[in-house]
């Protein structure tokens, strides 16, 4: 991992849904109405992510600068959580002055960019020289938009990478970094929700989907959602200090910073546990339902012994990892039986069973009906 620098971008938090930090809101005392005023945007030259270049900056208070590239129909939550951590860390209290942090939304042109929820953000600056930022953050969103290549964005990101500027992918921003050829040899994090989408788009690549973010040298990737606040806090801690990172999260009502290795939330099946090791194992199982992994391989992936993993499962779930894995696959099979018209043989394959008879035998043992009986009874009552 490269040494960390001090930094800079900036703007106001109250302006988030207008210009992501480039405007200020004040009351007009005569008309008693809200007036939007532009906030001055300054640029500091950057060289690399190394503390040695800090002395060359014109504003010695600025320790962290971030340029945001918003993709079409980006996820507002991922962007807002990240930028608000910077906003709160930039100043004392909740005053939102961009003193220790500065940030800017940058784009190839100045046309507003629409989020997936319909809110539009006005870019503040053209792409320009990426070296004026400590990090370039790509905020992804809906996959059908992310799948569309944008030559200008790709070229800018490639230029930033060549200049040694670390790149950050939030949500499906990781897809864009991969598509631009900027993740070769790097580990990349995506949400468990998009794990299969990633596999289908990038043949032979295996994303990390059992932790909230991954820092691999000058590539930082994050699963999205609320976890972007934790990645932003990680950078604030790194460049400004732990106190400012903690302050930001506390004001945002987020209870404590999570390390990148913290397991992603959001198990879709019926497994309730707060044990990080068990959650990571379950997420790994969930990502390999059609090709079940041996328990020893799961333990190895998590850098623990098989016996330790089994002990944690017994304590948390009252069963072994193998039993939990089979149960997870049976629950998936039941879901597919209830919600699709797929054949039982196909469902067996998709849920990791040898064949239809293998599924039927274990399904009956678990639910007291064969898959066909279960499907027939559902249709009779619907």
Decide: helix, strand or coil at residue 199. helix
Domain-wise residue ranges, the chain: 16-251, 267-382
199-232: pLDDT as tens digits: 778 877 778 877 899 999 999 999 998 899 999 9
Q: Judge whether residue 7 has pLDDT over 60.
A: no
Q: Could you tell me which CATH number the domain at 16-251 has?
A: 3.40.50.880
Instruction: Return the number of other C-beta atoms located less than 10 Å from residue 141's C-beta.
Output: 27
Q: Judge whether residue 358 has pLDDT over 60.
A: yes
Q: In what order do the strands lie in the sheet with 135-139?
A: 125-126, 101-107, 64-70, 135-139, 167-170, 219-222, 213-216
pLDDT of residue 197: 79
**Model-level pTM?**
0.63
Q: Alpha-carbon torsion 78, 201, 152, 142, what sign?
A: negative
* CATH topology agreement for domains 16-251 and 267-382: no
State the Cα–Cα distance between residues 243 and 4, nearest whole angstrom. 17
Task: Say which residue, 195 or 295, is predicted with more confidence.
Answer: 295
Give the CA angle between residues 52, 82, 234 to the nearest 5°. Answer: 50
Task: Say which residue, 305 or 21, is predicted with more confidence.
Answer: 305
Question: Phi/psi class of residue 318: alpha, beta or left (left: φ > 0; alpha: ψ in -120 to 50)?
Answer: left
Instruction: Return the number of other C-beta atoms located less than 10 Å from residue 28's C-beta.
Output: 9
| pLDDT confidence bin for 28, thresholds 50/70/90 | very low
The residue written with tokens 């010695």 in the block is: 60
Give the CA angle between residues 109, 194, 344 to the nearest 5°. Answer: 145
- Give the largest CA-CA distance in the chain: 79
> What is the pLDDT averaged over residues 339-355?
91
Tell whether domain 267-382 is in CATH 1.20.1560.10: no
- Which H or E run contains 66? strand 64-70
State the Cα–Cα distance between residues 223 and 346, nearest whole angstrom. 30
Q: What percent of the chain has pLDDT over 90?
A: 57
Average pLDDT for the chain: 82
Task: Say which residue, 369 or 276, is predicted with more confidence.
Answer: 369
Decide: helix, strand or coil at residue 124. coil
99-156: pLDDT as tens digits: 899 999 999 999 999 999 999 999 999 999 999 999 999 999 888 777 777 899 999 9
State the Cα–Cα distance between residues 109 and 91, nearest whole angstrom. 30
Q: Judge whether residue 91 has pLDDT over 80.
A: yes
Backbone angles phi, psi at 189, to 5 degrees: -105, 135
pLDDT of residue 52: 35
> What is the pLDDT averaged over residues 30-49?
33
């Amino acid at each position: 991992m490269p040494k960390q620098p001090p930094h800079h971008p900036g703007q106001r938090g109250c302006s988030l849904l207008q210009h992501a930090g480039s405007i200020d809101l004040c009351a007009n005392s005569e008309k008693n109405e809200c007036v939007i005023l532009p906030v001055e945007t300054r640029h500091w030259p950057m060289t690399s992510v190394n503390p040695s270049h800090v002395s060359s900056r014109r504003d010695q208070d600025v320790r962290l600068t971030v340029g945001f590239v918003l993709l079409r129909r980006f996820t507002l939550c991922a962007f807002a959580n990240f930028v608000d951590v910077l906003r709160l860390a930039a100043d004392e209290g909740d005053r939102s002055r961009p003193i220790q942090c500065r940030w800017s939304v940058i784009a190839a042109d100045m046309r507003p960019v629409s989020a997936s929820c319909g809110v539009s953000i006005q870019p503040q600056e053209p792409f320009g020289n990426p070296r004026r930022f400590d990090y370039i953050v790509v905020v992804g969103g809906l996959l059908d938009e992310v799948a569309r290549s944008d030559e200008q964005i790709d070229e800018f990101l490639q230029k930033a990478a060549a200049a040694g500027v670390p790149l950050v992918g939030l949500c499906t921003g990781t897809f864009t970094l991969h598509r631009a050829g900027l993740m070769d040899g790097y580990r990349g994090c995506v949400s468990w929700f998009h794990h299969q989408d990633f596999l289908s788009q990038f043949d032979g690549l295996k994303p990390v989907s059992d932790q909230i973010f991954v820092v691999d040298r000058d590539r930082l990737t994050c699963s999205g959602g609320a976890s972007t606040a934790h990645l932003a806090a990680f950078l604030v801690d790194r460049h400004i200090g732990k106190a400012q990172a903690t302050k930001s999260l506390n004001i945002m009502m987020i209870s404590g910073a999570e390390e990148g290795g913290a397991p992603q939330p959001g198990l879709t099946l019926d497994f309730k546990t707060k044990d990080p090791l068990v959650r990571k194992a379950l997420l790994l199982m969930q990502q390999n339902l059609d090709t079940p992994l041996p328990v020893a391989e799961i333990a190895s992936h998590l850098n623990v012994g098989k016996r330790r993993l089994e002990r944690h499962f017994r304590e948390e779930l009252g069963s072994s990892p193998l039993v939990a894995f089979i149960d997870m696959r049976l629950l998936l099979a039941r879901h597919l039986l209830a919600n699709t018209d797929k054949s039982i043989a196909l469902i067996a394959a998709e849920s990791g069973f040898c064949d239809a008879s293998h599924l039927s035998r274990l399904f009956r043992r678990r639910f007291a009906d064969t898959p066909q009986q279960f499907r027939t009874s559902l249709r009779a009552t619907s």
